[in-house]
Copies of this chain bind each other. A is one copy, B any other.
Amino acid sequence: MSSDLPVLLAAVSVLSALHMGFQARRVGWSRMKHKIMPPSVTGPAEFERTFRAHQNGVEFYPIFLVLLWTSGIFCNEGLAALGGFLYIVGREIYFTGYINETKKRLPGFYLALCVILILSVMASVGIIQSFLDKYLDIELF
């Protein structure tokens, strides 16, 4: 196996995938607690918050993965992996907060959003640099 593989990005990706699976599990537990049989997705407020918390995670997950890998490969793997870890932490705070009260989803959401923005900038800078180098033979740094 090549030792050049981005093992930190892979580690954070697997951790985030397991965390997404755990969120799906918590929706299942909430279904049992409130006796909501699939395919229904409506019920008591707590169940609906749990369901939406998971859905919001699903909506953002591929965006996160794209930015994690492009920023990690084209800019800095260690920083991207650290950002990825903070994203998972933000998502956990978001999920647990949202279950308790709609407003309590915000702190975790802002942390996750912050990471998304930073990874976007890292990815964009790295890709532009790599593009200039590869296609126009311009080395910026």
| Interface residues of A, Cβ cutoff 8 Å to B | 1, 3, 5, 7-8, 10-11, 13-14, 16-18, 20-21, 24, 37-41, 45, 48-49, 51-55, 58-63, 65-67, 70, 73-74, 98, 102, 105, 116, 120, 123-124, 127, 130-131, 133-135
Distance between A24 CB and nearest chain B CB, rounded to angstroms:
6
* Choice from B37, B58, B63, B133 contacting A59 with Cβ under 8 Å: B58
Cβ contact of A73, chosen from B10, B116, B123, cutoff 8 A? B10
Chain B's nearest CB lies how many Å from the CB of A38?
A: 6
Protomer copies: 3
Q: How far is the CB of A10 from chain B (nearest CB, A)?
A: 5
Closest 10 CB pairs of A and B: A39-B52, A17-B66, A17-B63, A39-B48, A7-B130, A10-B70, A39-B49, A13-B66, A3-B134, A14-B123
**Residue numbers in B under 8 Å from A55 (CB-CB):** 59
Give CA–CA (A83, B128) in the complex, Å: 20
A45 to B17, CA, bound (A): 31
Nearest residue in B to A131 (C-beta to C-beta)? Answer: B7
Q: Report 5 cross-chain contacts, Cβ distance below 8 Å, ordered by A residue.
A: A7-B74, A11-B131, A17-B120, A39-B102, A58-B59
